[in-house]
Every structure is written in C-alpha cells, then in structure tokens.
C-alpha cells in the first residue's frame, strides 16, 4: 500500500493543477469582458462564483487531513480530501464545457509560433488552423473530412479535396504556454496520417485489419507516434502538458490501465523518456515526474482494485504488455520518426537551470550566453594579459566581446525552462501543504503561475524577434 504521506503528495498535486486551471478560466472571463451591453456579465459571474465557491472549501479540507498531537495524515482526512477533489474535477470540466455560451477568443500568436518554429516545414505544409474549444482536452481533426461526413451529397460538389487540419486547445489554456506543447501531440496525429506511419507499422505485428487486436494496436500506435513526434519537435514539454491535463481529471477515472484507444500514460512516459534520452545523450529530463506519476498511478490502482493479490497480478500484466507489445511498437516508430524533416534542438546546449532561475527572478529567457562566472573569468584573463601591440589588444578585446554574445533560445528550451519552474512551484511538500491550507497560499500559487505564463510567452515572442534580426543581419 502507498504510504499516506505519498497519497497526500498526489492529492496536493491534483489540487494545485485544478486551482491553476480554475484561475486560468477566471482570467479568460476577465479578458472577454461582459460585452458591449453587459449581456455576458451574469453568465461570467455565475461561472466565477461556482469556481470560487469550491476553491474556498479546499484550505479547510487540506488542514483537516492531519490530526492528533503528531499531526499524522489520517485515512479519514485523505478520503474527505479525495472526495472534494473529485467534486472539484467534475465541476471544473462541466463549467469548462459551459464556456461555449460565452464569446470565443482567438489563440495567441505565440502559441502558433511555438508550433511553426518547432515543426518547421511540416507545419507550413499542413498549415493547421488552431482554435479554442470548450471541451477540456486537446483535439485534432480534418475539417474537410468532417464536412464530407456530415453533409450528404457533398462529394457531388465540384470542390478540390484538400486537408483542413484543425488543432483544438482548451479555452482555459489560451494564455498558458505550459499547455501549448500538447498541440504538438495533436499536430503529430496529422503528420502520422500524412506519412502513413501507423499504417506502415501495425501490419508488421497484426495482419488482419478487421480484428480487434489490429484496431487496438492501431490506436495505441497513433498515440505513441504523436507523442514521439511532439517530443522530437518540442522536447519533454508535450508529455508534461499531458500529465498536467490528466491530473485535473484524475479523480474521475482510473489512470493505471491502458484502454482500447489509448496506451497507459506510464507507457507513454516511458516511451518518450527512452526517445529523448537518445536525443539528449542519456540525460533524463523526465525522471522526477516519471517517479511521481508512478505514485499517482499506483494510488489510482489501489482505489480501483482493493485486493492486493489482484493488484500484483495487474501490475505484472501491465509490465509484460508494455515489454512485449508497446515497446516493440515504439522501437519501430523511433526508426521512422528520426527520418522526418523536423528542426533539430538540443536542451543540453543550454542551461535549463539558469533559465528557470531567471524566470523565478521575474526575467524573460529569450536568449542565453555564458554564465556570470565564465564571463568574470574571461574578463579577468583579458585584464591580466600583457599585450605587446595595440593590434594584439584589439584582437583580444574582440574575443572578449564575443564571449558576451547571447544566442536566441529555441522554443523547446524556453518551454522546458518554464516547466522546470512550474514543477518546482507545484511539487507537493510540507510548504505546499501549508500554502494550500490558506486562501492566501492559493492566491500566491495561482498568481505566481500567471506571472510565469506572461514571462514564458514574452520569451517566445522575443526569441522570435531575435532570430529574425539575426537572419536579416546574416
């Protein structure tokens, strides 16, 4: 059985993710305003009141998890907190769907730039439309095929058949760069279809296209393919965005198992980790989140299956299914995906920690050069040298000046820097527990995330401008 303190860590993470999404939704309500004649005011205020009402129940419930002189976590306190989060999750997803009754905004230019810069020619070739949707999820579909399906006789019209790829982002994530990366996964589905990657791979394992195993394997392959394509273009951020979304709906359904349409999230994390470790020369940017998610998945299994022997059997079956079914699929996909023309990036070429520290200090991270220590050493060396001629000094000064040059950061590095700080702010700890036990702590968390969103968005914009200037000068 999972230790109670670990269970509390999982529940606090769920609470934090829901609070952030709730705050983002209220921010969206502020941005669309009540309409020229105030016609949306009552709708917006009803949504705001519902969200704030359930948020206000959280601090007291968090404080009540521990009791007694030793302030130990109690099973009763855990269950009460879980039930509140279950209600919070159900309320939030329902409220999010009701945003369809309010005016819709366009996605931000920075969210489009995130995909355009990271996928390069593939993005330009597919030219997707990116829209906001009231369903709390991210989606991809071909609008042309949707029209063809919905309109009988459409094929009789003399119209050129073409792809109309649509990527849909949840409304509440409009201004949240940490969530934009999930669109990379959705674009990955369109790329998979364009190059028939899944169609090529699945028949290597199952030959009967009408069989249930073929259909299940095809669905799993499509998801793995989209995950790996997103990772190739954007690094670890897309799978981290998926985890963030999943934590928000965690209390509503078991997450341990694979389904007929989706492989288990733990499998997807393992697949992306393996792929990125090769890309980043064995460096593992997902280790901490992977270990934490393992706790969450185990807790989900314990809630859905109380019998310990049965749980052990399910865990063993899960390991075998991943090793003998999912992993061979992933290996085939990796061979295909590395051949695609996707712009290269390398997180090892920059210091994510330095970028994260700058964001914490309220500074953008659009570019990076040598560290302060390295620059001080270069300056000391320059001053300590003795130069025989003026020309020697000029050459040395030019070398010194080059050391102070900063290179614009790629989008994956900016997003990962934001993710690093986001995860630090969200990581359940005794301090986090105390914070979520008071409304002021909740406001501190959501306010900090809002500032982080603004900084990361500004960094993406500034990096793009920096690259454009370099291109013109070059």
Residue 396: helix, strand or coil by DSSP? helix
Lowest mean pLDDT among 29-33, 91-95, 468-472: 468-472
For the stretch 277-303, pLDDT in tens is 999 988 999 999 999 999 999 999 999
State the pLDDT at residue 90.
97
Distance CA(275)–CA(399), nearest Å, equals 38
**387: closest CA among 397, 400, 402?**
397
**420: closest CA among 472, 348, 352, 474?**
352
Cα 373–chain centre separation: 33
Asked whether 186 and 241 are in contact (CB, 8 A), the reply is no
State the pLDDT at residue 346.
86
Reported confidence tier of residue 215, pLDDT bands at 50, 70, 90 = very high
Answer yes or no: do 69 and 149 share one domain: no
**Global confidence as pTM:** 0.92
Joined together, the tokens standing for residue 431 give: 């301090």
Asked whether 433 and 196 are in contact (CB, 8 A), the reply is no
Answer yes or no: do 173 and 310 share one domain: yes
Mode of pairing for the β-strands spanning 367-368 and 407-408: antiparallel
Distance CA(117)–CA(124), nearest Å, equals 10
For the stretch 68-96, pLDDT in tens is 777 889 999 999 999 999 999 999 999 99
Domain that holds residue 251: 109-337
* Mean pLDDT value across the chain: 91
Distance CA(343)–CA(410), nearest Å, equals 10
State the pLDDT at residue 388.
85
Boundary of a domain, candidates 286, 320, 337 = 337
Domain count for the chain: 2
Whether 321 maps to a domain, the answer reads: yes
Instruction: Give the mean model confidence (pLDDT) for residues 445-449.
Output: 93
Answer yes or no: do 162 and 74 share one domain: no
Answer yes or no: do 253 and 309 share one domain: yes
Whether 253 maps to a domain, the answer reads: yes
> How many other CB atoms are found less than 10 A from the CB of residue 252?
12
Mode of pairing for the β-strands spanning 165-170 and 129-133: parallel
Answer yes or no: do 114 and 95 share one domain: no
Whether 381 maps to a domain, the answer reads: no
Answer yes or no: do 35 and 124 share one domain: no
Answer yes or no: do 87 and 126 share one domain: no
Whether 53 maps to a domain, the answer reads: yes
For the stretch 228-265, pLDDT in tens is 999 999 999 999 999 999 999 999 988 888 999 999 99
Asked whether 10 and 255 are in contact (CB, 8 A), the reply is no
Reported confidence tier of residue 176, pLDDT bands at 50, 70, 90 = very high
Answer yes or no: do 116 and 50 share one domain: no
Boundary of a domain, candidates 102, 121, 146 = 102
- Write out the H or E segment, with its range, that includes residue 71: none
Answer yes or no: do 135 and 242 share one domain: yes
Phi, psi (deg, nearest 5) at residue 112: -70, -40
Answer yes or no: do 234 and 141 share one domain: yes
Mode of pairing for the β-strands spanning 139-142 and 367-368: unpaired
Whether 373 maps to a domain, the answer reads: no
For the stretch 300-316, pLDDT in tens is 999 999 999 999 999 99
For the stretch 379-416, pLDDT in tens is 888 888 888 888 888 888 888 888 788 888 999 999 99
Whether 230 maps to a domain, the answer reads: yes
Own/partner contacts of 43-49, CB < 8 Å, gap of 24 or more, are 43/101, 43/102, 44/102, 47/95, 47/98, 47/99
Distance CA(191)–CA(242), nearest Å, equals 19
Whether 469 maps to a domain, the answer reads: no
Boundary of a domain, candidates 49, 80, 102 = 102
Asked whether 230 and 238 are in contact (CB, 8 A), the reply is yes
- Cβ-in-10-Å burial (0-12, 13-18, 19+) of 209 comes to exposed
Answer yes or no: do 312 and 188 share one domain: yes
Answer yes or no: do 98 and 119 share one domain: no
State the pLDDT at residue 430.
63
Whether 190 maps to a domain, the answer reads: yes
State the pLDDT at residue 161.
63
DSSP-derived letter for residue 169 is: E
């Amino acid at each position: 059985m999972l230790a109670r303190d670990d269970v509390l860590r999982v529940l606090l993470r769920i609470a934090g993710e829901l609070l952030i999404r709730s705050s983002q939704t209220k921010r969206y309500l502020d941005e669309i305003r009540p309409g020229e004649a105030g016609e949306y005011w009552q709708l917006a205020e009803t949504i705001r009141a519902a969200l704030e009402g359930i948020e206000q129940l959280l601090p007291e419930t968090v404080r009540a998890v521990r009791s007694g002189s030793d302030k130990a976590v109690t099973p009763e306190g855990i269950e009460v907190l879980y039930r509140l989060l279950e209600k919070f999750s159900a309320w939030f997803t329902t409220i999010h769907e009701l945003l369809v009754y309010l005016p819709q905004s366009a996605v931000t230019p920075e969210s489009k730039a995130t995909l355009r810069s990271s996928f390069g020619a593939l993005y330009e070739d597919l030219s997707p439309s990116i829209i906001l949707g009231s369903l709390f999820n991210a989606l991809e579909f071909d609008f042309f095929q949707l029209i063809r399906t919905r309109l009988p006789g459409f094929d009789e019209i003399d119209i050129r058949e073409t792809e109309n790829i649509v990527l849909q982002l949840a409304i509440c994530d409009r201004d949240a760069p940490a969530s934009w990366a999930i669109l990379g996964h959705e674009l990955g589905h369109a790329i998979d279809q364009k190059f028939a990657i899944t169609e090529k791979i699945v028949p290597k394992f199952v030959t009967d296209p009408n069989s249930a195993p073929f259909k299940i394997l095809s669905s799993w392959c499509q998801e793995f393919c989209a995950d790996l394509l997103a990772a190739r273009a954007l690094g670890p951020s897309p799978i981290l965005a998926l985890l963030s979304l999943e934590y928000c709906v965690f209390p509503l359904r078991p997450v341990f198992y694979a389904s007929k349409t989706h492989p288990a999230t733990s499998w997807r994390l393992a697949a992306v980790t393996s792929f990125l470790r090769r890309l980043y020369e064995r460096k593992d940017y997902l280790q901490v989140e992977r270990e934490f998610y393992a706790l969450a998945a185990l807790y989900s299994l314990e809630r859905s299956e109380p019998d310990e022997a049965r749980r052990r059997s399910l865990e063993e079956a899960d390991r075998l299914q991943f090793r003998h079914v999912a992993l061979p699929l992933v290996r085939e996909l990796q061979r295909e995906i590395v051949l695609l023309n996707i712009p290269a990036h390398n997180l090892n070429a920059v210091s994510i920690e330095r970028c994260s520290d700058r964001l914490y200090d309220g500074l953008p991270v659009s570019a990076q050069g040598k560290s302060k220590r390295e620059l001080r050493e270069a300056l000391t060396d320059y001053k300590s040298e003795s130069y025989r001629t003026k020309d020697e000094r000029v050459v040395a000064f030019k070398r010194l000046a080059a050391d102070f040059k900063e290179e614009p950061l790629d989008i994956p590095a900016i997003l990962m820097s934001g993710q690093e700080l986001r995860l630090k702010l969200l990581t359940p700890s005794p301090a986090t527990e105390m914070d979520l036990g008071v409304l002021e702590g909740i406001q501190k968390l959501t306010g900090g995330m809002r500032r982080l969103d603004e900084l990361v968005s500004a960094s993406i914009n500034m990096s793009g401008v920096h690259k454009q200037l370099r291109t013109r000068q070059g």
